[in-house]
Chain A
Amino acid sequence: MLIAATPDNEAERLAALHALLILDTPAEARFDKIVAFAAAEFDVPVVLITLVDSQRQWFKSRVGTEVCETGRDVSFCAHAILQPAIFVVNDTHRDPRFADNPLVTDGPLIRFYAGAPLIMPSGLCLGTLCLIDRRPRELGAMELGILGTLRDLVVMELGNISEVTDA
């Protein structure tokens, strides 16, 4: 298993995430409706809005899992936040970076992952909107476009929090 590198701007990134005062807050309909829409649109069992904290990834919104966080060391999203493009693993069993990841070999048995990085207007990436399936999949250009749009809607909602905090 390959543990994701730490972003060069990690200190700034964590400062921006913590400034939102969103970690460990209750579920909110404005995020949940985006996640529910994504689950139906892509017909996947698990959809998450993850926020990558220093040692964990915490789920602001989730469909298909009761777990509200996992360790950052096993996180797929920790890889996804390292690049601006949507990070896709079509089949974890065929990818040496993830084949022996405990999230693949044990519950939730991730076989497919697509994470759209939540890049704020500042350029800092706080987490992802991600799709998870238990079977291999591929996304076409149009599906990637839809996932990117839903990610943009999540970023807009996170921005609204920021505006309220600044007021």
Chain B
Amino acid sequence: MPSATMHILLVEPEPMLRRTVAMTARSLGLGQVHEAATSAAALRLLSVRRFQGAVIAVECVGSGKDSRYDLGLIDRLRAEAAAAEQALSIAIMTETATPELLSDLRERQISRVILKPFRAKVVLETIEKICRSQKA
């Protein structure tokens, strides 16, 4: 099992999924998962801690032609990791993956895209891979 000292940020609005992943990761020694329900809550966590990995639920904001995926948190994480010269693996969760979104994600070096239905097992396997890649 990977080291328990890995700190992973999990941004997911659904409390049951978020809680289940965080508690199971802890019980299996996968790493310390820090929970945030929103990007705003995640930014508060970012101000006090650095993370080795992140799994982030990305939501579409706006409507019609103005709709877009909010990738601001990912950009902020990338910028902080670059400033600290620190490796950072990021996976995202999204309902659908449009070509535009996938293009944006490639630019941001996203390691994995998890599509609905979101399962705790898939998120945990992703966290396990992130921890292993960071340890390697």
Binding site for B on A (CB under 8 A): 33-34, 37, 40-41, 141-143, 145-146, 148-150, 152-153
Contacts and interface: CB of A to CB of B under 8 A. Distances in A.
Interface residues of B, number: 14
Given A37-B20, A153-B19, A153-B20, 16 more contacts: A37-B16, A37-B17, A40-B119, A41-B119, A142-B28, A142-B121, A142-B124, A142-B125, A145-B27, A145-B28, A146-B124, A149-B19, A149-B23, A149-B24, A152-B23, A153-B23
Contacts of A141: 28
B91 to A, nearest CB: 16
A120 B112 CA distance: 39
B19 A146 contact: no
Contacts of A153: 19-20, 23
A146 B16 contact: no
A142 B120 CA distance: 10
Contacts of B62: none
A148 B124 CA distance: 14
Contacts of B23: 149, 152-153
A62 B117 CA distance: 22
Contacts of B124: 142, 145-146
A34 B16 CA distance: 8
Interface in B98-133: 117, 119-121, 124-125
B16 A33 contact: yes
29 contacts: A33-B16, A37-B20, A40-B119, A41-B20, A41-B119, A41-B120, A41-B121, A142-B24, A142-B28, A142-B124, A142-B125, A145-B24, A145-B27, A145-B28, A145-B124, A146-B20, A146-B24, A146-B120, A146-B121, A148-B24, A148-B27, A149-B19, A149-B23, A149-B24, A149-B27, A150-B20, A152-B23, A153-B19, A153-B20
